[in-house]
Structure 1
Amino acid sequence: MVDETIEQAKAALRIRAHAARAALDHQERAEAARAAAKHFFDGIALRPSDVVAAYWRIRDELDCQPILVRLMDSNQTVVLPVVLGPEAPLDLRVWEQGASLYEAGFGTLAPAELAPKAEPDIVIMPLLGFDSQGTRLGYGGGYYDRTLARMKKKPRLVGLAFAAQELEHIPRDAHDVPLDTIVTEAGVRHFGAAA
């Protein structure tokens, strides 16, 4: 059951967080993406066997491409999400070295339909906002919530955002899974058991 009071509060926070993100200029965005990638690799322990779910940036999200390039160059297994429908979980497809990416809805790119699928050990998640408790404010579609609920294992959840997207407090609904870590251009913060 969705708490309408929480949903209304989140809707107002989404407007505020999106405005903060949209206010950043092109140069700030590029520098932040490079800095966040450095912090990611300095602050997140990766095993060679780890499957990493990432994303292809849409709109004004923090660009994950510097992380994706380095993961692919080091032969880490990378999966990218595909939206199959409004109530379906994300389809996580392996992006194999040299494979083309295709339009996958919402302006994002992903591997072809016949690409292998894999369940990730680490999920790098885009977001609109985050708070000091590791609460992630997404777009409200529930895609990541549904996807995480169906996984056989619990992956480490790493939010990727601009520092300007931090909010004082985000109310959490029962289905909201908190982040283990947030990575911004300002550094890495671990929450809960990962702290």
Structure 2
Amino acid sequence: MDKAAGKIELRKRLVSERLALPNRLELAERLQSVMRFWLIDRPDTIIGAYWPIKGEFDPLPALYRWQEDAVLGATLAQSSEPATQATEMPPLAHQSLASRSPRKIGLPVVDKVHKTLIFHAWYPGCPMEEDAYGIPKPKDTEIVVPTLLFVPCVGYAAGGYRLGYGGGFYDRTLATLQPAPLTVGLGYTHGFLPDFEPEAHDVALDAILNDNGVVWAGPATGQDR
């Protein structure tokens, strides 16, 4: 079996195993916590992510909390009430939180001409539509340019290398984004590939997080990025 065919089979196996994980909900909760702690000291205000498919980890709850924290932090700083009262917002205020937060979340929309990804702002309840691959995407929201990009991993390896779905969308996108965003892979522990051999065109991610914590952190993960 050649290398390309081997990767196809490896992807199929890993996706099948991921869908069959009996404790996927528990693992997702742990990775949500890892994400939230990892984001605490990040200076980014625009983060790109993805809509989860095929049993992928869902990063959006943690990112919405990250977005929410900016508003709640400002509310607490201006309020003389105890924190337990200051954080209680009426439903309408909660619904409009995304519009009041200085932090933005972007989800990818495929540019069919260049086969790259453009990121549009997402928030809970925003209008959505399916793209050509049947994946939900924001409809007619503003374009944002992330400085930090969370990337789904089918599999991952030492050194920050990622096994994706083989479409090359992220690689082409990262080659065009200026300035280049910090890239962070997300995946479950089962996706670690100890024998994975990167090819010449493979570009390492800046960091990888899984349900056990930080798997890989390159030098670019400091606050200078």
Task: Give the TM interval when normalised to the shorter protein.
Answer: 0.7 to 0.9
The 5 Å alignment of 1:126-137 reads 126-137=152-163
Secondary structure of the structure 1 residue equivalent to 2:17: helix
Secondary structure of the structure 2 residue equivalent to 1:178: coil
How far, CA to CA, are the matches of 1:122 and 1:67 in structure 2? Answer: 14
- State the match for 2:36 in structure 1: 41
How far, CA to CA, are the matches of 1:172 and 1:80 in structure 2? Answer: 27
How far, CA to CA, are the matches of 1:43 and 1:72 in structure 2? Answer: 14
Secondary structure of the structure 2 residue equivalent to 1:13: helix
Of 6, 9, 13, which aligns to 1:12? 9
Deviation of the 1:20 alpha carbon: 2.7
- Evaluate the alpha carbon distance shift between residue 110 and residue 6 of structure 1 in structure 2; reply closer, same or farther with a 3 A threshold: same
Structure of greater relative contact order (alpha carbons < 8 Å, 6+ residues apart): 1
Q: TM-score, normalised by structure 2?
A: 0.74
How far, CA to CA, are the matches of 1:132 and 1:35 in structure 2? Answer: 21
8 Å Cα contact 1:81-1:91 kept in structure 2: yes
Among all aligned residue pairs of Structure 1 and Structure 2, give the percentage whose two residues are the same amino acid.
Answer: 33
How far, CA to CA, are the matches of 1:33 and 1:158 in structure 2? Answer: 16
How far, CA to CA, are the matches of 2:152 and 2:48 in structure 1? Answer: 11
| 2:180 pairs with 1:184 | no
**Structure 1 residue runs without a partner (length 5+):** none
Count of aligned residue pairs for this structure pair: 188
The 5 Å alignment of 1:115-194 reads 115-194=141-220
- Structure (1 or 2) with the larger CA radius of gyration: 2
- State the match for 2:118 in structure 1: 91
Q: TM-score, normalised by structure 1?
A: 0.84
User: What is the RMSD computed on CA atoms of the aligned residues?
Assistant: 2.4
How far, CA to CA, are the matches of 1:68 and 1:192 in structure 2? Answer: 22
How far, CA to CA, are the matches of 1:96 and 1:162 in structure 2? Answer: 25
Bigger helix share = 2
Runs (4+) off by over 6 Å: none
